[in-house]
Amino acid sequence: MAEEAKPISPLKNLLAGGFGGMCLVFVGHPLDTVKVRLQTQPPSLPGQPSMYSGTFDCFRKTLVREIQASSGETKYTGALDCAKKLYQESGIRGIYKGTVLTLMRDVPASGMYFMTYEWLKNILTPEGKSVSELSVPRILVAGGIAGIFNWAVAIPPDVLKSRFQTAPPGKYPNGFRDVLRELIRDEGVTSLYKGFNAVMIRAFPANAACFLGFEVAMKFLNWATPNL
């Protein structure tokens, strides 16, 4: 007999979700940097090679550049310094630059993400067992595939967001419409999928780690604080 479902604890979900997010960032952040570099590289001039020939070339050049920059002066000393300078330059709108594009990316992509994860968990749960008893390999598979489906939806608005947020002030007065028009005009429709390889290489392990972290943390909290 499967165990009776326990009431949902918002606090446990908050803590377990936060731990899952930490796992995702720890595993996926290096390739997220590569993704943004690929998405924001300028189009190459006729007869000239692109700045990056692909995902691994971008990773290598980024690593070399960061090692060289570690001994020189940097524009921002950290996240708080970056936020302060953005506020000084553009006010509160500077800090929230790209919010509409972030919503255009995250609302449909997150819906796909959690729908796929829950659907796969149910499919992968053996007959007569509870979803909460799902094995670690099956959680990894469900989480990793959910991440791939998430990014399959998210890549085009993510490319637009990266371009818009890194553009100089005033370059795109009409927002994402100007970014979309310029990208398609100069680089074609395929430019909306820049960074695809980096995203997909990152998607499975990072999101598998996210959901595994969530499930492990939730089981630990249920064991350590059953009445929370």
How far apart are alpha carbons 24 and 206 in whole angstroms?
A: 5
How far, in Å, are 36, 107, 175, 184 from residue 99 at the CA level? 17, 12, 11, 22
CATH number of the domain that 34 lies in?
1.50.40.10
- Grade residue 192 by pLDDT with cuts at 50, 70 and 90: very high
In a domain, 1, yes or no: no
With respect to residue 4, please indicate whether it lies within any of the assigned structural domains.
no
Look at residue 156 and tell me if it is in a domain.
yes
Q: What is the mean pLDDT of residues 208-226?
A: 93
The answer as to whether 132 is a domain residue is: yes
Residue 3 lies in a domain: no
Tens digits of per-residue pLDDT, 65-77? 876 666 666 777 8
pLDDT of residue 226: 86
Into how many domains does the chain fold? Answer: 1
CA nearest neighbour of 199 among 37, 6, 4, 85: 37
Residue 187 lies in a domain: yes
Could you tell me the residue range of the domain that residue 76 belongs to?
A: 10-224
Give, in order, the Cα–Cα distances in Å from 155 to each of 24, 132, 161. 18, 31, 10
pLDDT (average), residues 49-61? 88
Q: Is 5 within a domain?
A: no
pLDDT, residue 5, reads: 56
Residue pair 155/190 in contact (Cβ under 8 Å)? The answer is no
Share of residues in the chain with pLDDT > 70 (%): 94
2 in any annotated domain = no
